[in-house]
Structure 1
Amino acid sequence: MNDNDEINTLRRFGAQVRSIRLLRGISQEELAHRCMLDRSYVGGVERGERNLGLLNILAICTALEIKPSELFEGWRDVE
């Protein structure tokens, strides 16, 4: 995976988090509070600026009340 692929992957993941958050009617600040993360960190995730660790992914999923697999729905298989 090259740098552009990594950046696009992080942006896509962040867009998925943002989309689900907005569908749930949750602000970034509320999501951050539920995850026990800083709001600026959540903003960085949504902009594709953060490469999250597993525990933070799980915290976001718990806060959004989704399964981790829902963050990757519609993604094609990695080649």
Structure 2
Amino acid sequence: MTVNAKRRNVKKLIAFGTNLQRIRLEKGLSQEDLAHLANVAYTTINRLENGRLNTGVSTIFDLARALKVSPKELFEF
């Protein structure tokens, strides 16, 4: 992977994390609340929101269900 490709990936992860955090806060949830509702570790939420984790599709669906949004909304950034 080239340096430019890595930068693009990091930018996408950061954009996803920022959007996830925005939606979570709009719903009035803490990271711990969301982790519990989505049945994932608190550290997963933290790392996603900080752009340090590239997660799988099943986690995306779990997060969307917990936030009561469509999975598509998590990618609207």
Give the TM-score normalised by the residue count of structure 1: 0.89
Moved over 6 A (4+): none
1:37 partner amino acid:
V
> Aligned partners of 1:9, 1:51: CA distance in 2, in Å?
10
> Aligned partners of 2:62, 2:75: CA distance in 1, in Å?
16
1:4 matched residue in structure 2: 7
Q: Which has the higher helix share?
A: 2
1:50 matched residue in structure 2: 53
Give identity over the alignment, percent.
34
Match of 1:23 among 22, 26, 32: 26
Gaps in structure 1 of 5+ consecutive residues:
none
SS at match of 2:52: coil
Q: How many residues align?
A: 74
2:42 partner amino acid:
R
2:37 matched residue in structure 1: 34
1:67 partner amino acid:
S
Gaps in structure 2 of 5+ consecutive residues:
none
> Aligned partners of 2:25, 2:63: CA distance in 1, in Å?
13
